[in-house]
Structure 1
Amino acid sequence: MKNIFVVFLFVLLLMACEKSETIDPETYSCSFNFTDNSANHPKAQQYQATVNEIVSKGTVGIMMSVYHPNSGQWLGAAGKADINNNIAMQPCMTSRMGSTIKMFTATVTMLLYQEHKINLDEKISNYLKASYIHKIRNAETATIRQLLQHSSGIYNYIQNPKFQTASMNDLKREWRAGDLLPYAYHQPAYFAAGTDVRYSNTNYILLGLLIEQIEGQPLHEVFEKRIFNPLGMTKSLFAAKNPVPNNIARGYIDLYSNFKIIESTYFSGWDYYTADGGLISNPYDMSLFFRKLINGEIISQPLLNEMLTWKTPKEQDADFFPIAYGLGIFKMTTAKGDVYFHSGDAIGYYANMMYIPSSKSVIVYAVNSNYGKLDEWVSTKKAIEKILESTWE
């Protein structure tokens, strides 16, 4: 889901002075640990044309995975991973996936529930220290399930103008949960817990603290142990382990809405250490995760059914598809049919992972440029419709 930022002119001037690094092209060398037959896929040309067109509209680089049970998987890329060093984007590279981590956070929470370590219908305040809870309205009464479903009514810290100002004044600052939660302190709740749904990153910061407390390990170790290693997600890591890997695709932003992009690789420090963001991955790994989750290979089918129990917001975004909220997953109603999804962005990055229940297909794409005029072709309703039109079976 889209993070909300206010852009200040004096910050833009500072950002414009940022210099790109000289990086050895060998640093970006990558491959898959399996034979990739994408070139022989029956729709390889069609899918490649789709990513090529997105780049032609101004996107710096894109990776995409298209999986259909009947025709198999196609992996492709277009554009640049690094403009300064003239590095072409490859499908085996990694990028920031932003809030898509929330589906992983929800899945780990469901695993703890499956193991009887927590109860989804107990209050989060029964598990976390009062210092995390008592200054956040609704946090003392909201349940774990309500946090997962964004039905807690808890204020979204990212929407606090004071946070936006602080973040923009120090774009390379690395934030921890204890730095971010105060921006939700004493802010009005959106509604009484359980009465509506509204997206809030604060919910998932609290869930991340819950996971760390129950498991007795930092989040990056929990995700490795619970998700990445068992599923063979060799290109994935939680940013806290290595916030800016040398081989990550460079990020770019169109702040002036004129296609004069600025590199922003180091500007997502609020997103490294908390469970509302911080995933570094690529479309293949994310497609693998989504397929195994939906197939009941990570959590049991009854618990998956709970994740896919939908709650519709009282107000919808007129500029997007009608959506419904599950537990760490969303459903959008498109002209072609329902799509389960979670998107995410950071400064200079956007990703979207989509599952089509009618065909059991998974489409995942990630770009290393956003904001301004770039968003029109990667994250809007029109952009998603075009991608679904070219990949739907």
Structure 2
Amino acid sequence: MPYTSAMLRWGAAVAVALGTLAVPLVTAPAPVPAAFAAPSPAPSASTSASGSPDVRDMTPALARRLDAVVRHVMREADVPGVTVGVWTPGHSDYVRSFGVANKATGRQMSPDLYMRIGSETKTFTVTAVLQLVDQGKVGLDDPVGTYLDGVPDGDRITVRDLAGMRSGLFDYSEDDGFLKALTSDPQRAFTPRQLLAYSFRHRVMFRPGEKFSYCNTNLILLGLLVEKESGQRLGDYLAQHVLAPAGLSHTLFPTGNEFPAPHAQGYTDQTASGKVEETAGWDPSWGWAAGAMISNLDDLRTWARTVATGVFPDGTAMVGPAVQKQRLATPSTGVQGAGYGLGIFDVQGWIGHNGSLPGYESLTVYLPSTRTTVVVLLNTDISYKGGIEPGTLFGQAITRVISPAHVFDLPAPASATR
């Protein structure tokens, strides 16, 4: 079973519903299977100004309910290991790990493990771009051709189009030649320009700004833009201007397949043979600015609020309020309840991003009305029947329990192939 473009998708379910994956276009999303639609528990809840419950108090009874739904999703979706964190100021924290980090050794999953975070990388890359916008070095509405040569329609596609997934460029990760190169050697290193070459051999799919179409090519271009206008390598820029000020000491942009210890082993069926393989040693350079980064639970807890507010933990601005406001303008993706801004989504009020890379999935979201953060990290990307990402299943199940008025309900496709 070959790789598919779902490997670097935010919410592959939404992308499928929009017809942007290499799968049959579906006309109507199906609900999450009833097995995951857990009934809401009865504990007291925080209440918003509108009188609707926003987030339930983290009582021992609610924690036990969360334990039960997480274990249920694990069993149904055959997930080896998962770590879940839920934090709301003034409430008890919920941090639990379940299952195994390594099936061969039996090592238990734990909250301190490093994990590959896939497309959550996009939130960091776009942050770097927005900082350059704040500094007047980059204009959001400038054509990308102002900064980079050789981009198809580069005189019309703007920086905003790239960050908002509305460029019309072809996604390199859907190119047959790229897929063949990657499946033949998952440890192969790719350069950004090599990745762009796979995209640029295809015609532009639609006029810039015409519609939403999730595309990893956009982020490769934004990464190169950061390097050109900052004079630093992307990883160095992020380390100095984003990670260090945010206090993210366990987050990194790898240059190869390095993976700090302790980390979880990953498991995928996105292989040339279709058999499940271990992925911790695979080279994520093919994701680069779109999906190569590594982090852990505590850092992502901090990042959830930081990226959603535009403010570093010490109170200084990561990006200015005017730019942050533009970032959080999340036009519809064409799927009800799901909007996408500048490298960030809003799903039923939850702001953040998810990630999927062979062997790993993640979800980091923040609910501003109650300042609640949810982080989910798991060591498989093998989809549940119907093509539903396991990370999405966890997000839906958890938010049904803790925030029934704000359920992270990315729709599942009616049918899909991987």
TM-score range, shorter chain: 0.7 to 0.9
Query: Could you say which residue in structure 2 is the equivalent of 1:95?
Result: 115
Query: Could you say which residue in structure 1 is the equivalent of 2:380?
Result: 369
2:307 pairs with one of 293, 303, 312: 293
1:224 pairs with one of 208, 230, 239: 239
Query: Could you say which residue in structure 2 is the equivalent of 1:127?
Result: 147
Letter in 1 for 2:96: G
- Unpaired segments ≥5 residues, structure 1: 7-39
| Contact residue 233 and residue 285 of structure 1 kept, 8 A | yes
2:104 pairs with one of 68, 80, 84: 84
Please state if 1:160 is matched with 2:175.
yes
Q: CA deviation at 1:180?
A: 0.8
Q: Which runs of 4+ in 1 moved over 6 A?
A: none
Describe the SS at the equivalent of 1:388.
helix
Residues 333-352 of structure 1 aligned to structure 2 (within 5 Å): 333=348, 338-352=349-363
1:63 pairs with one of 83, 86, 98: 83
| Contact residue 175 and residue 271 of structure 1 kept, 8 A | yes
Please state if 1:379 is matched with 2:399.
no
CA distance in 2, matches of 1:124, 1:220: 21
Distance 1:254 1:157, change over 3 A: closer
- Unpaired segments ≥5 residues, structure 2: 9-20, 23-57, 312-317, 405-418
Q: CA deviation at 1:254?
A: 4.1
Letter in 1 for 2:94: W
Describe the SS at the equivalent of 1:343.
strand
Query: Could you say which residue in structure 2 is the equivalent of 1:3?
Result: 7
| Contact residue 344 and residue 353 of structure 2 kept, 8 A | yes
Q: CA deviation at 1:241?
A: 6.7
Distance 1:87 1:371, change over 3 A: same
Residues 305-316 of structure 1 aligned to structure 2 (within 5 Å): 305-313=325-333, 315-316=334-335
| Contact residue 293 and residue 299 of structure 1 kept, 8 A | no
CA distance in 2, matches of 1:376, 1:147: 26
Describe the SS at the equivalent of 1:239.
coil
Q: CA deviation at 1:41?
A: 7.1
CA distance in 2, matches of 1:392, 1:114: 35
Q: CA deviation at 1:322?
A: 4.0
TM-score (norm 2): 0.75
Describe the SS at the equivalent of 1:275.
helix
| Contact residue 216 and residue 290 of structure 2 kept, 8 A | yes
1:117 pairs with one of 132, 137, 143: 137
Please state if 1:252 is matched with 2:272.
no
Q: CA deviation at 1:102?
A: 0.5
CA distance in 2, matches of 1:44, 1:226: 37
Describe the SS at the equivalent of 2:240.
helix
Letter in 2 for 1:208: G
Distance 1:223 1:49, change over 3 A: farther
CA distance in 2, matches of 1:246, 1:363: 24
Aligned positions, number = 343
CA distance in 2, matches of 1:308, 1:87: 40
Distance 1:228 1:2, change over 3 A: same
| Contact residue 41 and residue 74 of structure 1 kept, 8 A | no
CA distance in 2, matches of 1:361, 1:242: 33
Letter in 2 for 1:226: H
Letter in 2 for 1:110: L
Q: Which has the higher contact order (CA 8 A, sep 6+)?
A: 2
Query: Could you say which residue in structure 2 is the equivalent of 1:276?
Result: 290
CA distance in 1, matches of 2:294, 2:332: 30
Describe the SS at the equivalent of 1:81.
coil
Distance 1:346 1:141, change over 3 A: same
Deviations 1:84-103 (A, max 9, x none): 22211111111110001101
Distance 1:236 1:185, change over 3 A: same
| Contact residue 186 and residue 282 of structure 2 kept, 8 A | yes
| Percentage of pairs with the same residue | 27
Q: CA deviation at 1:198?
A: 0.9
Query: Could you say which residue in structure 1 is the equivalent of 2:338?
Result: 323
Deviations 1:248-304 (A, max 9, x none): 211012469xx98431223353446x2101110123211211212333412222221
| Contact residue 376 and residue 391 of structure 2 kept, 8 A | no
Deviations 1:320-351 (A, max 9, x none): x6422200111223xxxx32231111111111
CA distance in 1, matches of 2:391, 2:205: 25
Describe the SS at the equivalent of 2:289.
coil
| Contact residue 384 and residue 390 of structure 2 kept, 8 A | no
Q: What is the RMSD computed on CA atoms of the aligned residues?
A: 2.7
TM-score (norm 1): 0.79
| Contact residue 68 and residue 361 of structure 1 kept, 8 A | yes
1:266 pairs with one of 252, 267, 281: 281
